[in-house]
Amino acid sequence: MDTFGLSRRLAAEALGTGILVATVVGSGIMAETLTRDVALALLCNTLPTGAILVVLITVFGPISGAHFNPAVTLVFTGKRELPVNEATLYVVAQIAGGIAGTMAAHLMFGLPLLDVSMKVRTGGAQWFAEAVAAFGLVATILAGIRFQRTAVPWLVGLYITAAYWFTASTSFANPAVAIARSLTNTFAGIRPADLPGFILAELCGALAGMLLMTWLLGRPQARGPIPIAETTR
């Protein structure tokens, strides 16, 4: 990442987030067009999202770190791996890119450029689900970087694919994506009024994930536990 200037990193964050949102919104629109089965529509929304994450993280990871997510950017800022001023610009780029992604999806399907969502997503269960989704995402990223860095694109893609189904909220796990999805009154939408609860839950879950994984991963000991045979000598 050090070999790429800030402007290129910001462009990568905006473009990556935009393509991610276009995939989420666009696949949701396509699913609604092709089927009335909600479970099948969700599956049609899930698979492209997991797949595009593998592609985007692989392609843009070496440039910007492939955050595409203010909660992830917050974590790396908290770990002092990204300066606050750059992190702020990352978040702006992610939000702008996400909104552009919604607009692109609408243009592809002949819908109004922006259309405020009316889809209700609120309540304690939804908020807790978002906290769990963000917690798991951060845990996956940090452990993946520590133990199998080259597998991180696949780990994140597979985690989000699973979290679509095991969380009540379908795992937004991303404030920038949530904001972009509030501007589409389609399958993937969320009412703007429901955004504060989602975003707060996502940030809290991400911070909890960072704190736990920082402790859990820690620094490896010079030597593991002493074998029982040695304690008897």
25-66: pLDDT as tens digits: 999 999 999 999 999 999 999 999 999 999 999 999 999 999
- Does 154 have pLDDT greater than 70? yes
Asked if residue 184 has pLDDT above 90, the reply is: yes
Please, are residues 67 and 173 in contact by the beta-carbon 8 Å criterion? Answer: no
Any idea which residue has 């089965």 for tokens? 37
pLDDT in tens, 55-102: 999 999 999 999 999 999 999 999 999 999 999 999 999 999 999 999
pLDDT at 219: 73
Rounded Cα–Cα distance for residues 18 and 146 (Å) = 28
pLDDT at position 232 is 38
Query: What's this model's pTM, rounded to 2 decimal places?
Result: 0.92
How far, in Å, CA of 214 to CA of 94, rounded?
25
At residue 233, the pLDDT reads 41
In this prediction, residue 17 has a pLDDT band, given cuts at 50, 70 and 90, of: very high
